[in-house]
Structure formats: C-alpha cells, structure tokens
Amino acid sequence: MKALWFLAPSLAGFAVFYFIPFLLGIYESMTDGALGSKFVGLRNYAELLHSGSFRKAASNTMLFAGIGVPLLVALSLVLALLLNRPLYMRNGLRTSMMIPLVVPVASVVMAWQIFFDWNGALNAWLHRVHMARIDWMQSNWSMSIIVAMYVWKNIGYNMILFLAGLQSIPRDYYETAAIEGAGRLHRFRHITMVYLTPTMFFVVLISIINSFKVFRETYLLAGDYPYDRLYMLQHYMNNMFFTLDIQKLTAAATIMVGCIVLLVTGLLGVERRFRESVE
C-alpha cells in the first residue's frame, strides 16, 4: 500500500499527460469531425489504408527500420567486441562513440547538410575529380543518408549496452572452453551469443523505438515534403496536423502505436521463451 502512495504522483502525471490523451485520440479517430462530431467506427481507418500517401509513408518507414535496425545492431556489436579487448586509447574511443548522443539535433543536421548539400563538401570533392554533382537529398541516395545518420547517432549507446553485457559474462566460461579445445568461433557462438541474447533483445527493442524518432533529423534535413523515399509516417502525421485533419492524424498514430506494441510484445515473448529454455 505504501508503494502505491509513492507511485501515485507518477501514475497521475502519466495518466493526465499520456494515457488519457491517447484514449481521447483513439476516440477522435472514430469520429467525423472536431465539432459536433458523429461516431463513424473504423471508416477513417479504411480511408487511411486506401490513401496512397499513407501507404507510401508506411512502406518507407518499414524500409528504413528494416535496413537501419539490423545494420545498427550489427555494427554496435562489432564495435563492442573490439573495444572489449585491450586496445590503445580504448577509453578515448569509447568516449568518442558517445559524442553524437550529446550533440544537439540542429548541430548534427547542420554538419550533415554541410557535407551532403548541393554546394557541400562531398559535391566539391566530386567536382575536383571531374565528376557530376549529385542532389543527394533528392535522389535514391537519400534513404542511405538518413540510415547512416541514424546509425551514427545511436551506435554509441548500443555499443555501451553490448559492452555491459559482454563484461557480465564470467571469464571462467571462456577459459574452460579454451582448455577443452574450443575455437574462437565456437566460443563466440556458444558462450558470447548465448549469454548476450537478453542484451541483444533489449538493444533491438531500443533500436526499433529510436528508428521512429528519426523524424526530427529528416524534417530539418529535407523539410516537411521531402523526396518520396524519405516520406515517413511522422511526415504524414505532421502534415495532417497542419491541415487540421485530426481524424486522419489520430488514426495514423493509433495504427503506428499498435504496430509498435505488437512488435515489442512479440520480441518480449521470444526473449521470455529463450530465457526459459536456457534455464
């Protein structure tokens, strides 16, 4: 009972600023207007699913997450494995990987604009070697640029999580396996990856959530109506907000939240079954 009293302020704040507005948003997504609205059920969702701009935004978002998340997890794991070994300036390298997390978003976007702008550094180098300039943010390279920015900004945090997981594995396991003649690949597969799996699930979960937060960088870099390949769900909802189409906005937000909840629930279920099988 005492714990509930301590949790009450946080629960009240969560209810007032998150849970109740979310429920009101779900209700708005099932009405036909902001004033004098009538309940229309799932009609807004049906119209949303038949919208070409929504399907484009959803497919781009899934493509971005499908490319960015596995790449981020793989690279951060490789870096963690390297920095878990005795290396020269290891502490300095660890610190440098965390710098993108503390740099303001506007500064990050400005640096990338300087590099990828039409008159930016990369096009200047191409011009020096007599190659044609490329409008990077209005080409099929634009998705790759956003993926690279997402990886660069989040790789340090994931690397720290993997390092914590690696350092929690007892060294006795590796020494015993080495005495029994197990090679490096065998030790990596049957010791490192097995005991790192809970951390892996958490990193994948955090990476998926962070992939839905890339809108700020994309919006500042390419604007509210970017190249088709960069048009994400957050762009769609932002544009619906500017046109005051609250019903489409809340319906899109509800679908996105539902997909995230299903994905997270599935990952947690897989992680729980894996933990039970190991135990």
Residue 31 has phi, psi (to 5 degrees) of: -120, 175
What sign does the dihedral 87-91-92-93 (CA atoms) show? Answer: positive
Q: How is 132-145 classified by DSSP, letter by letter?
A: ----GGGSTTHHHH
Quick one: pLDDT at residue 278?
A: 61
Domain 68-231 has what CATH class?
Answer: mainly alpha
Q: How is 8-52 classified by DSSP, letter by letter?
A: HHHHHHHIIIIIHHHHHHHHHTTBS-SSS--B-TTHHHHHHHT-H
Quick one: pLDDT at residue 121?
A: 84
Quick one: pLDDT at residue 174?
A: 79
The pTM of this model reads 0.82
Quick one: pLDDT at residue 36?
A: 64
What average pLDDT does range 59-81 have in this prediction?
90
CB 132, CB 163: distance < 8 Å: no
Assess whether pLDDT exceeds 90 at residue 71.
yes
CA distance 136 to 146: 11
Domain definitions of the chain by residue range: 68-231
pLDDT tens for residues 1-35? 677 888 888 888 888 888 888 888 888 888 887 66
Quick one: pLDDT at residue 197?
A: 85
pLDDT tens for residues 131-156? 888 877 778 888 888 898 889 888 88
Assess whether pLDDT exceeds 80 at residue 183.
no
Assess whether pLDDT exceeds 70 at residue 203.
yes
Chain mean pLDDT for the chain: 82
pLDDT-above-90 percentage for the chain: 5
Confidence label for 70 from pLDDT (cuts 50, 70 and 90):
very high
Confidence label for 279 from pLDDT (cuts 50, 70 and 90):
low
